Copies of this chain bind each other. A is one copy, B any other.
Amino acid sequence: MSTYTVHFLPADRSVLVDDGATIAEAAQQADVLITNLCGGEGVCGKCRVQVTKGRAPAENHAKGFFSQDQIMKGYVLACQTEIHDDLEVVIPAESRMDGSKIMTSGESQSLAKMDLNPVVKKFYLALSAPTMEDNVPDVERITRELRKELGWHTFDIPLDCLQTLSTKLRENDWKVTVTVARHGENYRMLRIEPFDTARSHYGLAVDVGTTTVVAQLLDLNTGAVLDVEGCHNSQASFGEDVISRVIFACGKGGLDPVQNAVVKNINSLIGTLVKKRGISREEIEVIVAAGNTTMSHLLLGLTPCYIRLDPYVPTTDEFPQIRASEIGIRINPRGILEVMPCVASYVGGDIVAGVLASGISEQEAVKCLIDIGTNGEIAIGNRDWLVCCSASAGPAFEGGGTRCGMRATDGAIEKVVIEDGELHYETIGNKKPRGICGSGLIDCIYELVRNNIIGQDGKFDRQRKDPRLSSEDGIPGYIIADAGETETGAHVVITESDIDNLIKSKGAVFAAIKSLVDYIGLGFDVIDTLYVAGGFGSFLNIPKAVAIGLLPDIPLEKIKFIGNSSLTGARSCLLSENAFETCLNISRSMTNIELSTYQPFTNEYIAALFLPHTDGKLFPSVNYAKR
């Protein structure tokens, strides 16, 4: 069999592969990480790469993903392109997961060894017909067979399932498919079908984020991710951030529309997913959803009002298993919805899912998860102990609260470099710039301070002569993209007050990490791995995040960006009933430190309002040239 060499850029790594392997497989072999949401099905279009040497035409799969121009330039989807030639392949910024392991890092530790044992199971049973010697009740004929598979358990049966059970058993000569869900320590029969439908077995993992809602469709027979869809959370129209949504929901008649908005989002994502895969909604029998505590309350229609008021009390931290139809979610009418358990009002099911996905609670080594969004949530621990906290970071890293901030979508500046007085930027999707997303803002601040354009206090050097310096209402700013280059026709600019907001945000996150580490009586050096999750898009420049003082100054190889760990955790729970059990243990055993009443936090916060920090000894590797 012929073999070919594939050389990946910018990683500068080569591998030898067999004829017919895909570029994605070659990349994996080369340990070059390419973004991929759909699991290699050619449907998400995230694994776009550019073939710069050798022949590997995009052929059929390119349609809809690439312009004619891009096809001419050699753009293809890595997962769909077979190798029949020596190739040079460039991984463009938007497809790269540079330097940072992703979701799969959490997966490789916990998912890989995880047995496929989905929270909802289907069993095809060919039962023996009753005789006078064996005339147990019909239900028992099923349960005694199920006990052979599941061990001794009681089986809860909803009335509507029981009412037609006898008829269904006899409809096809005692051959039935029984759908069973884990329910507490026992099981619940969801559905009995008089045919073998066990092959059709689907579930949905949903990350209900404040900003975006992402749904993954899974084949529960194989564990494969079939497809993924995401959309903005329509609750945004009732308030961009959690607090304003809670205020709206707690007004008269406010809860229903806020709940319905996200239910509609989920229904719409399901609609797209089933259409794309050619299945019906009724074939989906389970959803596992993860969200922060407020999102979980709003999804289920629970009063969220006391989450935001001192002393910050949620209605509950563990949610009942319900039929998805009870809240209007349109899957199988008897399909269930599980919502991941929370720890406290500001440490939600998304963090519990993240702790699960990153495997923190499994090993002896101390690991830490930082999820940076409007709130920065931090969990640290190992298999023996878990501590967490949450700090309000403000919306800066998600594109809010800054003049030209935007979410990590097409046209967002996500990378900035200032070298020898020249500014270079890259945008998501290589579109004309429309604004700056979180990762771009981190770059901006780093580059501005490194080039002495701002001081370590975040203030502009007003003496400096620089054509990019601007001023509006007396507030100085710096032009990142000139009006002539942008989509909007206006400058994309970062102002001194933007920088001030960002310093407060990163200060809050860092102070939270520092307070937590101090609280447990350890130093940063005890951290074996630091996982960073959050809505930064596919990219976060970790060295720069350390350099501005957002992340602690520990060896860079210990820091890993893992993207949407909430979704990964929800998926694990869908695929493993033990994982769901683990999540309950995580949420019950995790100690939450309430930073708002923890005095040292305030001091840490004030000390962190500097780039990288007022105490330089905390960032020994960061040395800005003094101006």
Candidates B154, B166, B326, B596; contact of A302 at CB < 8 Å: B166
Segment of A307-315, A392-400, A509-517 engaged in the interface with chain B: A307-315
Residue-wise, chain A 122-145 has the 8 Å CB interface mask toward B (1 for contact) of: 000000001110111111100000
User: How many A residues face the partner with a CB closer than 8 A?
Assistant: 48
Chain B residues closer than 8 Å to A140, beta-carbon distance: 316-317
Is A301 at the interface (CB under 8 A from chain B)? yes
Is A39 at the interface (CB under 8 A from chain B)? no
Residue-wise, chain A 342-362 has the 8 Å CB interface mask toward B (1 for contact) of: 001100000000000000000
Is A300 at the interface (CB under 8 A from chain B)? yes
Q: Across the interface, do A315 and B136 meet the contact criterion of CB distance under 8 Å?
A: no
Q: Across the interface, do A301 and B138 meet the contact criterion of CB distance under 8 Å?
A: no
Q: Which of A573-599 contact B (CB under 8 A)?
A: 594, 596-597
Q: Across the interface, do A315 and B597 meet the contact criterion of CB distance under 8 Å?
A: no
Candidates B135, B157, B167, B315; contact of A165 at CB < 8 Å: B315
* A144 smallest CB distance to B (angstroms): 13
Q: A315-B165, A322-B159 are in contact. Are A135 and B594 (CB under 8 A)?
A: yes
Q: Across the interface, do A311 and B162 meet the contact criterion of CB distance under 8 Å?
A: no
Is A254 at the interface (CB under 8 A from chain B)? no
Give the nearest-CB partner of A164 in chain B: B303
Is A184 at the interface (CB under 8 A from chain B)? yes
Is A163 at the interface (CB under 8 A from chain B)? yes
Residue-wise, chain A 91-119 has the 8 Å CB interface mask toward B (1 for contact) of: 00000000000000000000000000000
Q: Across the interface, do A166 and B315 meet the contact criterion of CB distance under 8 Å?
A: yes
Taken together as a complex, chains A and B put the C-alpha atoms of A312 and B166 apart, in Å, by 12
Chain B residues closer than 8 Å to A384, beta-carbon distance: none
Chain B residues closer than 8 Å to A594, beta-carbon distance: 132, 135
Q: Across the interface, do A132 and B167 meet the contact criterion of CB distance under 8 Å?
A: no
Chain B residues closer than 8 Å to A152, beta-carbon distance: none
Q: Across the interface, do B314 and A162 meet the contact criterion of CB distance under 8 Å?
A: no
Is A320 at the interface (CB under 8 A from chain B)? yes
* A162 smallest CB distance to B (angstroms): 6
Candidates B163, B317, B320; contact of A157 at CB < 8 Å: B320
Chain B residues closer than 8 Å to A306, beta-carbon distance: 138, 166, 170
Candidates B135, B164, B310, B311; contact of A313 at CB < 8 Å: B135
